[in-house]
Amino acid sequence: MLMEELFGRGIMAMGPAKDDPNRLTGTFNMELLKTFPALKATEMEKMRWLEGEWNSVNRVPATSKNPAYEDVGSGKYKFCEKDSWICLVAKEGRKRRYLTFDPFSRQWIYLLAEGAYGILRSAGWNGDVLVFEGEMTMIGVNCVLRQTWKKRSNDAFSFVNEERLADGCWGHVDEWELRRK
């Protein structure tokens, strides 16, 4: 249960109410919370290499309904919101929140909010691999997606998208290669 978890983790504790110090209520553990900005900043710096402009190649395999194909494009990532988010920058300059680190859960959060909708989560980097997973809606199709990033260098990375199939296995959706412009 949510409240039990918050109190159990020490995020919340019983303390005096703001309007009546004689009444106990749930309060945030400020000693714990004051460590979060530094933790978030440290984790966000692990993604500083992503900032900049990238060329991409998307490889989609054949299915019973489509032939295999490749698509090429480009994109730009920029730290935004006082360095608390990595944003995708549209050609006209509009910034859309994309990646952040949540110090409460100690997870990376991948926000999809245009065309594809959902929140994918990751426990963090394991060497040069970062794996996100979560429920989403991709252009009207609901699925559970796993996205595995591999950092090749500060100038190259790739990721593979997989969807959870009815039998619980992961099925390959597509793969992306990105290189810094």
pLDDT by position in tens, the chain (length 181): 999 999 999 999 999 999 999 999 999 999 999 999 999 999 999 999 999 999 999 999 999 999 999 999 999 999 999 999 999 999 999 999 999 999 999 999 999 998 899 999 999 999 999 999 999 999 999 999 999 999 999 999 999 999 999 999 999 999 999 999 9
Question: Are 114 and 123 spatial neighbours (Cβ–Cβ below 8 Å)?
Answer: no
What per-residue confidence (pLDDT) applies to 95? 95
Model pTM?
0.89
Quick one: pLDDT at residue 34?
94
Helix, strand, coil shares of the chain as percentages rounded to 5?
15, 55, 30
Structure confidence at residue 15 (pLDDT)? 93
Q: What is the pLDDT of residue 162?
A: 98
Alpha helices in the chain (DSSP H): 2-8, 30-33, 36-45
CATH code for the part of the protein at 43-180: 2.40.128.20
Number of residues assigned to the chain: 181
- Residue 81 has a pLDDT of 94
Give the pLDDT of residue 115: 86
Q: Where are the domains of the chain?
A: 43-180
Residue 170 token pair: 């992961």
